[in-house]
Amino acid sequence: MIRKIFFKCVFFTIIICFFANHLGPIFSETRRGVGVWNDFYKEPKNTLDLVFMGSSLSYSSFNPLVINGSLKIKSYNLATALQNIKQSYYNLLEILKYQSPKTIVLEAYTLDIPDLSEENRLGFKFENLDGQKLSLGKLKATNQQFKSFKNKINALLPFVRNHNNWGNIELIEKNLEYTHIKNRFLGYKLVKTKVTSEEVKEGIKRLPLTHSFDDENLKYFKKFVELCKLNKIRIIVTRAPTLFYKYNKDYYLQAYKNTNEVCKANDLIYIDYNQKFDDLGLDMTCFWDPKHLNYKGATKVSESLVKDLKNKGITGEKTITKYNEPEDYIYSNAIANQGQTIFKGNFLINDSLKIKEVKVFNIRKDEYSVVVKMNKGLNPDLISEFGIGYYFYPIDSHVQFLETKKDLKRKYTSIGDHSIPMSSGNNIYIALRSLKTKMNSFKTIKIEIHNQTTNDLKYLVIKDVNFNKTFD
């Protein structure tokens, strides 16, 4: 009888936990880490060759879209904010239930982050666990990361943790109407803004003086390495560059030496991109805050990582057969002939810069990318001096598809964009990532090139463009 009651209690506890766990998102603010896990679970089983792990320094630095086409592999960035190595270890256990990666790229800041107390980084710990499926593995990870019963319950049941939101009708309605859109960048976070001098000055006030690893992090790093070896996974330890390196070189030299020593002791490859800071041409324009790279900086570092991984023999045989993003075309030779060429020639911008080709890609329904190919041998940083404007003048019957009153009045639409250079082979590319429109026939497409240093303007004018032409 007692045994029967016990099993009934266990059964109803599991049912309650299951429903409470699934109710959690309705009462929670939407957070990036949850979405990254959701997208990870949607990846076909055992198809990922490489997984990026670590903190925000990983997901703001390493773009899988650059990696995949260049190396002919499939990668995914499963880093989460302020993730330390203890979390990385339990995350890897979860990853291995669904994927069998050959390589893990672990960003080293995850080794730097200590667990000062159970309450330390509490919200970020919850965020990392919230996206994971309810399982015995999640129960174990929760039990190891939290000591208090309250935090264990809060970690497992966001529905309970967010009880203050039970009466927040606006949030509940928002979450019920919310449809998760898959991260187009496979876990990478694209940010185009630039850090300000004021942000740098404020950040310098809080620079650390000495670098070291605490004992618990070293213990979990050893467990992480052993787990990878057991599953025949190669570990590449990287350290993403930060702007603070320029103002605190002694600290980052300590970080380099300490990390290199730990990696050597475990027979691991270590790549520190702070030590390549100047060689990569990094400066303030490459960061969105003093610690994190923006899209321009991440493109430079991701392209550098491609070279480093190739030198270590990390390549694959997977070919991209269809473009979903501009990077798929730019970095993959397999689809070099796809897309619609709307200009081919030599359009001179100045003595050292010319446009050789413009292609359009229908990446999704009523959504297009425009890719501009520049001349060979150009210093990519020169392109960053230019602002790019794209002007689309539809045929008369398509004017009705213009979406704003301003555009309807002037009978065209325009999009300004940053000229972020992407290098592949001997070519340089820039791309307008997304033009969402029902228009597909244009009297004129005009590309404006604005030299922000000299204030000179040039226009490449392309006549009679029809997006309905067959895309290869």
- Residue 173 maps to a domain: yes
Do 301 and 335 belong to one domain?
A: no
- Residue 12 maps to a domain: no
Q: For residue 369, how many other CB atoms are within 10 A of its CB?
A: 23
Do 367 and 453 belong to one domain?
A: yes
Q: What is the pLDDT of residues 155-175, one digit of tens each?
A: 888 777 776 767 666 656 665
Sign of the alpha-carbon torsion through 39, 41, 44, 48: positive
Q: Over pLDDT 70: what percentage of the chain?
A: 87
- Lateral strand order in the sheet of 413-418: 413-418, 386-394, 441-451, 457-466
Do 304 and 379 belong to one domain?
A: no
Do 227 and 334 belong to one domain?
A: no
Domain of residue 341, residue span? 326-466
| pLDDT at site 442 | 96
Locate 412 and state its tokens: 């065209």
| pLDDT at site 197 | 93
| pLDDT at site 280 | 94
Q: Which of 279, 311, 343 is the last residue of a domain?
A: 311
Instruction: Give every residue of the chain whose pLDDT is below 70, as ranges.
Output: 1-30, 163, 165, 167-181, 334-335, 376-380, 469-472
Contact status, residue 121 vs residue 82, Cβ threshold 8 Å: yes
DSSP strand pairing (386-394 vs 413-418): antiparallel
Q: How many domains does the chain have?
A: 2
